[in-house]
Chain A
Amino acid sequence: MLMSNIEIIPGKTITASHGIASGSTVRAKHVGRDIMAGLKNMVGGELRGYTELLEESRAEAIARMQAQAQQMGANAIVNVRFSTSSVAVGAAEIYVYGTAVTVD
């Protein structure tokens, strides 16, 4: 599945558009990571546990978006956008959406 965050897939032409494909996931962080992050917070800097957690969630959301696009009969997604929001205490929603298209 080809993806880009511009309106085209460079080097290809879009032949059909299928509408919006999206994928989302809500993840909570687990206690161990939270405690480690609290300790790390003492000195500041990167919270590696959280970076990994959000990266995993983003991969999951992208996979769901791709599955949906495939169902629509698309082979590429253009204009992909990301959005993250904290929905509840300790949980974050990762949302990815784009336009499913057919290219050749």
Chain B
Amino acid sequence: MELYVLLLFWGMPIVLGFVFGQIAEKRHYRSIHAREKALLHLPTTSGKLPIMGGAPVRCELVTGSVVVSVDHFKRAAAALRAFVGGQVKSYESLLDRAKREAVLRLKESCSGAHEIVNLRLETVPLSKSTQGGIGAVEVLAFGTAIYVA
């Protein structure tokens, strides 16, 4: 009996994480693809020199950020993976989503710009505050938006 209770206690979050996490991930990727297509007109570079030409009249520091956390299924999968080593696919997709989301938010905040130069991405792990706390990361994208006449 105790075993079942224990199993339920540890198993439920993992199952819930798997089901809802998968649904949320699919939905998020759909939205990312659609918005990336819509923002293709805004070229972005990680270099410091403008690539589009034109006489700039105004510039603006722009940022976009997102905080994501890992669901229990992914955490369990990563813990298992740590036994044998190798790539942890479940975390890869999470961080990929976070980075693309941050860049999309940055672009959406200045959709009238001509181009964005010196795009930088920073990933900051937020502290595991309380016991069993949140293993969350913040992804911050920042760059300079250039407007031309």
Contacts and interface: CB of A to CB of B under 8 A. Distances in A.
* Chain B: interface size category: 35 or more
B104 interface: no
A47 B68 contact: yes
Interface string B43-69: 000001010000111111101011111
Interface of A: 2-7, 9-11, 29, 34, 37-38, 40-47, 50-51, 54-55, 58, 80, 82-86, 88-90, 92
Contacts, number: 126
Nearest to A91: B127
Given A3-B60, A41-B134, A42-B13, A10 B69 contact: no
A11 B122 contact: no
21 contacts: A4-B60, A4-B61, A6-B117, A9-B59, A11-B57, A40-B69, A43-B20, A44-B69, A44-B70, A44-B72, A44-B74, A45-B68, A50-B136, A51-B67, A80-B142, A84-B122, A84-B124, A84-B138, A86-B125, A89-B130, A90-B130
